[in-house]
């Protein structure tokens, strides 16, 4: 049986040539600020200190004689994906857009192999979503499926576990026949790569909407799980009628005179610092790392970084964006709309000004559930949120998304598009609200999938 290869040691370095361009630096800073793995690990830090307990080891086959059987008819492309994976010795990554049924593909793999399985997921909410899906859609009794995380240590023939728990040094990752990694783009991070290297699972499946990582370690994903064996873009599935037809529209707004003056002054301070310190920062080839290091002791470097951040905040939170969101919500009065913002401060502002229910990472679990249930049953038709609903949450279907601000990552863009393209008779809409004559224009251009 094939075994996992040891990945190359990855380093989070950003190499920039001496003739560095402003667009490159904007992207580097966006990558630093938009690191999803760092955010995820911070959100789950309490759980990382919790021992995961000992596994009850049986044989590799699914214990107790239980035989999972599909309780549904897969779509054509889902069947194609699993057949492609099996042709590659049941090792590899399947790339499907959010809302295209990646979970179904994993359940098909589990049903075909019928082996002891570990399913690794990024969030607590997904623990229970996956457990319920395995039980209900494979016709298995609850005692066969366990969860590890959120205070539970239920090691079973099929176990769903968070990345944070699986990465614990004492997590027993041996005696697994099939390793499934949901949102597999998280796996190459330094904290989580050991999940794959410590496991001896001969069969491996990675699921993601886009594998690309900002830290340059995308290739590590293929070393850990296997190559890309199947890929379908949103446009492909829409053309084939598997997901909704959709339109993408860009709406441009302008800064007020006061905002424009402050933006130009702050960007001027940032550009002057880069121009005057370029050779110093280029030492060692790690331009961005040197900038961060110097900001700890150099007041001038620290002020330059603060100026760039403040300028970015002006562009992302322009007053005209609030008026445009209000106009779009009026235009789509009868539609189910999700408004996405890069920063939670703007989520709160939109929520207060327009009287919309809001969900951020600070929203209590009970309140979040109540809001999502209300959105699902029609009590609410509008919702504003930040990054917290990008992935790892079962979000009720909507038909309009408004991205009032976002990062430069294609992954985030596809995740947000996925919230409105589940199969439906009507055409879905994704709006991007972009501030003219700011770095946000380049950011929006780069996040669009090619």
* DSSP string for residues in 108-124: HHHHHH-B-EEEEESSH
Contact residues for 272 (Cβ-Cβ < 8 A; gap 6+): none
Query: Of how many residues is the chain composed?
Result: 450
pLDDT on residue 21: 40
Measure the CA–CA gap between 160 and 165, rounded to whole angstroms. Answer: 10
**Looking at the predicted structure, is the pLDDT value of residue 391 above 70?**
no
Tell me what pLDDT residue 4 has.
Answer: 38
pLDDT band at 87 (very low <50, low <70, confident <90, very high): very high
Nearest one of 321, 361, 335, 323 to 420, comparing CA atoms = 335
Distance CA 426, CA 317 (A): 31
- Per-residue pLDDT for 57 more than 80? no
Distance CA 218, CA 198 (A): 19
Question: Can you tell me the distance from the alpha carbon of 390 to that of 316, in angstroms, rounded to the nearest whole number?
Answer: 18
Phi-psi region for residue 80, left (φ > 0), alpha (ψ -120 to 50) or beta? alpha
Q: What integer pLDDT is reported at residue 410 of this predicted model?
A: 66
Tell me what pLDDT residue 266 has: 92
Take residue 398 and report the two structure tokens written for it. 């909507």
Beta strands 117-121; 246-253: pairing state: unpaired
Does the 246-254+318-447 domain belong in CATH 3.40.50.300? yes
Q: How confident is the model at residue 365 (pLDDT cuts 50, 70, 90)?
A: confident
Lowest mean pLDDT among 47-61, 224-238, 247-261: 47-61
pLDDT of residue 421: 65
Q: What angle do CA 80, 83, 86 make, to 5 degrees?
A: 155
The token pair that represents 401 in the structure block: 């998304």
Pick from 414, 409, 408: which is nearest to 440 by CA? 408
Q: Which pLDDT score, from 0 to 100, does residue 306 have?
A: 86
90 vs 37, more confident: 90
Give the closest residue to 401 by CA, choosing from 428, 366, 422: 428
More confident residue, 174 or 11: 174
The fraction of the chain above a pLDDT of 70, given in percent, is 75
Tell me the C-alpha distance between 25 and 270, whole Å: 11
The CATH code belonging to domain 44-232 is 3.40.50.300
Higher pLDDT, 30 or 198: 198
Kindly tell me if the per-residue pLDDT of 219 is higher than 90: no
**Is the CB of residue 430 less than 8 Å from the CB of residue 328?**
no
| Domain range list for the chain | 44-232, 246-254+318-447, 257-315
Asked if residue 304 lies in contact with residue 270, where contact means CB atoms within 8 angstroms, the answer is yes
What pLDDT is attached to residue 24? 38
Contact 241, 279 (CB under 8 A): no
- pLDDT (tens digit per residue) in 157-186: 999 999 999 999 889 898 899 999 998 988
Q: By mean pLDDT, which of 128-132, 213-217, 351-355, 435-439 is the weakest?
A: 213-217
**What's the rounded Cα separation, in Å, for the pair 429 and 401?**
6
**pLDDT for position 388:** 66
Percent of the chain at pLDDT > 90 equals 31
Q: What burial class does residue 294 get, using C-beta atoms within 10 Å of its C-beta: 0-12 exposed, 13-18 middle, 19+ buried?
A: middle
Give residue 64's pLDDT band: very low, low, confident or very high (50, 70, 90): low
Longest CA–CA span in the chain (Å) reads: 71
d(CA 183, CA 211) in angstroms, rounded, equals 9
Look at residue 287 in the predicted model and tell me its pLDDT: 66
- 387 has a pLDDT exceeding 70: yes
- Whether the model clears a pTM of 0.95, i.e. scores above it, the answer is no
Return the closest-CA partner of residue 7 out of 195, 170, 230: 195
CA 120 → CA 117, 147, 162, 164, distances in Å? 10, 10, 5, 9
Average pLDDT score, the chain: 79
Question: Does the fold of domain 246-254+318-447 match that of domain 44-232?
Answer: yes
How far apart, in whole angstroms, are the C-alpha atoms of residue 383 and residue 360? 11
pLDDT at 208 over 60: yes
- Asked whether the beta carbons of 201 and 176 are under 8 A apart, the reply is yes
Q: CA dihedral in degrees (281, 12, 191, 185; nearest 10)? A: 140
Contact 75, 209 (CB under 8 A): no
Residue 20 confidence (pLDDT) = 36
User: Residue 121: its pLDDT value, please?
Assistant: 93
């Amino acid at each position: 049986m094939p075994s996992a290869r040891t990945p190359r040691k990855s380093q989070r370095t950003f190499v920039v040539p001496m003739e560095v361009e402003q667009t490159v630096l904007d992207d580097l800073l966006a990558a630093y600020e938009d690191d999803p793995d760092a955010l995820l690990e911070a959100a789950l830090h309490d759980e990382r200190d919790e021992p995961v307990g000992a596994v009850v080891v049986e044989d590799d086959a699914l214990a107790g004689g239980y035989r999972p059987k599909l309780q549904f008819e897969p779509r054509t492309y889902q069947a194609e994906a699993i057949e492609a994976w099996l042709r590659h010795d049941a090792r590899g990554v399947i790339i499907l857009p959010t809302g295209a049924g990646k979970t179904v593909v994993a359940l098909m793999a589990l049903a075909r192999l019928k082996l002891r399985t570990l399913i690794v997921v990024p969030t607590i909410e997904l623990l229970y979503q996956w457990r319920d899906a395995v039980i209900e859609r494979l016709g298995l009794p609850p005692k066969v499926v366990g969860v590890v995380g959120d205070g539970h240590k239920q090691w079973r023939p099929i176990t769903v576990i968070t990345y944070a728990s699986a990465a614990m040094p004492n997590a027993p990752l041996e005696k697994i026949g099939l390793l499934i990694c949901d949102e597999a783009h998280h796996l190459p991070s330094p904290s989580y790569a050991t999940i794959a290297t410590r496991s001896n699972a001969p069969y491996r499946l990675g699921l993601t909407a886009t594998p690309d990582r900002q830290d340059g370690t995308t290739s590590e994903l293929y070393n850990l799980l296997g190559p890309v064996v199947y890929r379908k873009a949103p446009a492909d599935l829409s053309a084939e009628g598997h997901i909704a037809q959709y339109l993408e529209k860009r709406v441009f707004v302008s800064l007020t005179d006061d905002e424009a003056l402050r933006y130009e002054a702050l960007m001027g301070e940032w550009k002057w610092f880069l121009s005057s310190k370029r050779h110093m920062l280029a030492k060692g080839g790690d331009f961005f790392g040197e900038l961060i290091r110097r900001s700890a002791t150099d007041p001038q470097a620290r002020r330059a970084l603060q100026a760039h951040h403040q300028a970015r905040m002006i562009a992302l939170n322009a007053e005209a964006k609030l008026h445009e969101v209000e106009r779009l919500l009026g235009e789509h009065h009868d539609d189910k709309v999700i408004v996405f913002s890069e920063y939670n401060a703007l989520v709160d502002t939109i929520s207060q000004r327009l009287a919309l229910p809001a969900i951020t990472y600070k929203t209590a679990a009970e309140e979040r559930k109540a809001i999502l249930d209300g959105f699902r049953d029609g009590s609410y038709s509008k919702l504003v949120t930040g990054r917290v609903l990008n992935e790892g949450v079962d979000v009720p279907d909507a038909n309009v998304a408004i991205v009032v601000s976002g990062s430069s990552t294609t992954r985030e863009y596809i995740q947000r598009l996925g919230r409105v393209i589940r199969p439906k008779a009507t055409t879905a809409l994704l709006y991007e609200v972009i501030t003219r004559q700011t770095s946000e224009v380049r950011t929006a251009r780069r996040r669009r999938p090619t």
